[in-house]
Each structure stands twice: as structure tokens, then as C-alpha cells.
């Protein structure tokens, strides 16, 4: 019976799972809610992982999975990574061990960095930039979360959008934000912003990038400022002689943020992903764990 390789990219807003055969052929994909354990109910995290993996497996027996690797946002927040990996294995119904690594590891591999040495800038819901040698972290910037950092990421873009909408509720961005939030007045907008989980502000990021792409001056300033934050983060972490990979929806989606970011980092020759992080995780799952001193 053919054995299978499972890879999971568990981010702050979304979890994606990919199932490959030993030759690397795609057999299934699945998705679920965010699985960052930082500030989230552990049961919800495991539930979102299980939902994504179940969808990727489809009718196949989980016992056929010979290797599983999970790239986890918020990995550093885990007090007991080995214990979390065991709980994930049970929640996913797997018989093989689960290898748990920071989400930066498959994100770097997704950029085609075969030897695992280079820098990856992830800008999704949050932001982090890490220089890696295999699974070993050589340098790190950002990754402080929505309360203390995440400048330039989806949450930051959404927060800036709410600020603009409160100050100028009838401008193009303010109108779009209030419509999204169902808030007809600035006071109701504030109640919406504080009345739910902070990470939902990241859902407003596409409003900013969309209007910026259409030429709205206010949205364009926010988008370019986001790119400036991300560029500064990369320059503080990356080494010119090594690969720099961009990852995450904010950094890689076509539009003003990516355009300005690529321009700001042109001398470092940043790479866009050659595949998605979940597929990269599945490919890494089938390889022996790299040992670094």
C-alpha cells in the first residue's frame, strides 16, 4: 500500500493541509481556521488542524500517512512543543510521529531554498522575519503579535483602516470599512473594533490594498507605509549573500504593497514563493530531519 506524506501550514487566520504521494504528486488539499496557539483556545487550534487534515485526506485511512510536518505560527509560544505534537497526532488520528516546526521553515522552502539556509519574511495576519539554517534560527525580527508589533501585516493594515474610517467616515476607505463592519457611525465603528477578537481587523486589509490599487491616495499611503515597515524588518535580518523569500498574503499578493516592497528590497533580490507553504511542508515531511550543530 502506498504511503502518504502530509504537510500543514498553520497560520494566524487560516490552516492549509496538503497530501502528497512519495513521488510528490498532489492527492488532496484541505483548509480550516487559524491555528496559531498564541492567545487561542488549544482545543480550537487542534480542531482547526483536524478539519484541514480531514479534508485533505478525504476517504483515505490516516494510518497510510507515513510522515507529517506542521509549520506552526506561534511555535515559540508553546511551553511544550513535544507535548503539542503528541496531542496533534491524536487529534489528527495519525499513527506516524508529527514533526512540529515554526511556520518559517516551510515558508522558506516554498521559495525554492533547497539547503534551508536563508531569510524568510512572512507578512500575513502578523509579521515576522527569520534567518534560518535548516530549523535553526540564526536571527529574528518582528513576531511580537498584534499588541506589540506586526507592523505592515494584515492586522496593522486593518487597524489603520479603522483609524481612517473613524476620522473620515465618508471618504472612500471610511465608507468601505463602515459597510464591511455594519457600522453607520464612528461610535458604532469603535464598538465593532473593540467588541470582537483583535485578529478580525485583518479582514479589512483587502479593502486597503484594493482601494490602493484603484489609486485612492489615502489607501495608497497606508499600503506603501506597510511595505516600508516590511522592508525595514527584512533589512534588519537578511544577509545580502543569501536568499530572501517573501511569504504571506500581504507580501505576495499582487498590488501596491508587494510592488513597493519589491522595489525597496531590489538589491537583495527577494523571491516570491515557487509553491505554497503547505505543499513545501509535505515535501519536507518526506525528508529526514536535518541536523544542525
Burial class (CB in 10 A: 0-12, 13-18, 19+), 80: exposed
Inside any domain, residue 174 = yes
Query: Domain check: are 259 and 159 in the same one?
Result: yes
Q: What is the C-alpha to C-alpha distance for residues 221 and 192, in angstroms, rounded to an integer?
A: 24
Output phi, psi for 285, to 5 deg: -60, -35
Which residues, other chains included, contact 215 with Cβ-Cβ below 8 Å and sequence gap of 6+?
Answer: none
State the pLDDT at residue 288: 67
- Look at residue 158 in the predicted model and tell me its pLDDT: 97
Within this chain, do residues 101 and 222 fall inside the same structural domain, yes or no? no
Residue 233 shares a structural domain with residue 162:
yes
Q: Is residue 223 located within the same domain as residue 281?
A: no
Do 123 and 83 lie in one domain? The reply is no
Same-domain check for residues 144 and 258: yes
Same domain, residue pair 119 and 25 = no
**CA dist., res. 227 & res. 186, Å (int):** 28
Task: Record the pTM.
Answer: 0.85
Cα 13 from Cα 209, distance rounded (Å): 18
Grid coordinates representing 293?
550543530
Report residue 293's pLDDT band, with 50, 70 and 90 as the boundaries: very low
- On whether both 136 and 161 belong to a single domain, the answer is yes
| Helix, strand, coil abundance in the chain, percent, nearest 5 | 45, 20, 30
Query: What's the confidence (pLDDT) of residue 292?
Result: 43
| Residue owning grid cell 489615502 | 218
- Does residue 172 register a pLDDT over 70? yes
Per-residue pLDDT tens over the stretch 189-224: 999 999 988 888 999 999 999 999 999 999 999 999
Q: Which of 242, 4, 266 is nearest to 115 (CA)?
A: 242
Q: Is the pLDDT of residue 68 over 80?
A: yes
Alpha helices in 236-274 (DSSP H): 249-252, 256-264
Is 291 domain-assigned?
no
| Shared domain check, 132 and 258 | yes
Read off the CATH number of the domain in which 200 is found.
Answer: 3.30.420.40
Give the total number of structural domains in the chain: 2
In whole angstroms, give the CA distance from residue 66 to residue 93.
12
Let me know whether 145 and 218 are in one domain: yes
Q: Please indicate, yes or no, if residue 46 is contained in any of the structural domains.
A: yes
Task: Supply the pLDDT for residue 276.
Answer: 92
Q: What is the pLDDT of residue 40?
A: 64
Query: What pLDDT sits at residue 116?
Result: 86
Domain presence at residue 95: yes
**Are 45 and 70 within 8 A, CB to CB?**
no
Hey, is 115 helix, strand or coil?
coil
Strand locations in the chain (E): 4-10, 14-20, 26-33, 65-72, 98-102, 117-123, 127-133, 136-142, 244-247
Distance of CA 10 to the CA centre of its chain: 7
Domain limits for position 85: 4-112+275-285
- The answer to whether residue 293 is domain-embedded is no
On whether residue 57 sits in a domain, the answer given is: yes
**258 with 140, same domain?**
yes
Tell whether 81 and 203 lie within a shared domain: no
Orientation angle between helical segments 217-235 and 256-264, nearest 10 degrees: 40
Interatomic CA distance for residues 98 and 91, integer angstroms: 11
Amino acid at each position: 500500500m502506498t504511503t502518504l506524506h502530509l504537510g500543514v501550514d498553520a497560520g494566524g487566520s487560516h490552516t492549509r493541509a496538503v497530501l502528497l504521494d512519495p513521488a510528490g504528486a498532489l492527492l488532496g488539499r484541505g483548509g480550516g481556521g487559524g491555528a496559531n496557539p498564541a492567545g487561542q483556545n488549544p482545543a480550537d487550534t487542534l480542531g482547526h488542524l483536524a478539519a484541514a487534515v480531514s479534508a485533505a485526506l478525504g476517504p483515505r485511512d490516516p494510518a497510510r500517512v507515513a510522515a507529517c510536518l506542521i509549520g506552526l505560527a506561534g511555535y515559540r509560544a508553546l511551553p511544550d512543543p513535544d507535548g503539542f505534537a503528541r496531542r496533534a497526532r491524536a487529534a489528527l488520528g495519525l499513527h506516524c510521529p508529527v514533526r512540529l516546526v515554526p511556520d518559517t521553515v516551510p515558508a522558506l522552502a516554498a521559495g525554492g531554498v533547497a539547503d534551508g539556509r536563508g531569510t524568510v519574511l512572512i507578512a500575513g495576519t502578523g509579521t515576522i522575519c527569520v534567518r534560518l539554517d535548516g530549523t535553526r534560527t540564526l536571527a529574528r525580527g518582528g513576531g511580537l503579535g498584534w499588541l506589540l508589533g506586526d507592523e505592515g501585516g494584515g492586522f496593522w493594515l486593518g487597524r489603520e483602516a479603522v483609524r481612517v474610517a473613524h476620522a473620515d467616515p465618508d471618504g472612500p476607505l471610511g465608507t468601505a470599512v463602515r459597510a464591511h463592519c455594519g457600522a453607520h457611525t464612528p461610535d458604532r465603528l469603535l464598538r465593532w473594533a473593540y467588541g470582537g477578537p483583535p485578529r478580525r481587523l485583518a479582514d479589512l486589509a483587502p479593502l486597503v490594498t484594493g482601494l490602493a490599487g484603484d489609486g485612492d491616495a489615502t489607501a495608497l499611503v497606508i499600503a506603501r507605509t506597510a511595505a516600508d515597515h516590511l522592508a525595514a524588518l527584512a533589512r534588519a535580518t537578511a544577509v545580502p549573500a543569501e536568499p530572501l523569500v517573501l511569504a504571506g498574503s500581504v507580501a505576495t499578493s499582487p498590488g501596491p504593497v508587494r510592488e513597493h516592497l519589491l522595489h525597496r528590497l531590489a538589491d537583495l533580490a527577494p523571491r516570491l514563493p515557487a509553491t505554497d507553504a503547505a505543499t513545501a511542508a509535505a515535501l519536507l515531511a518526506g525528508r529526514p530531519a536535518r541536523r544542525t550543530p
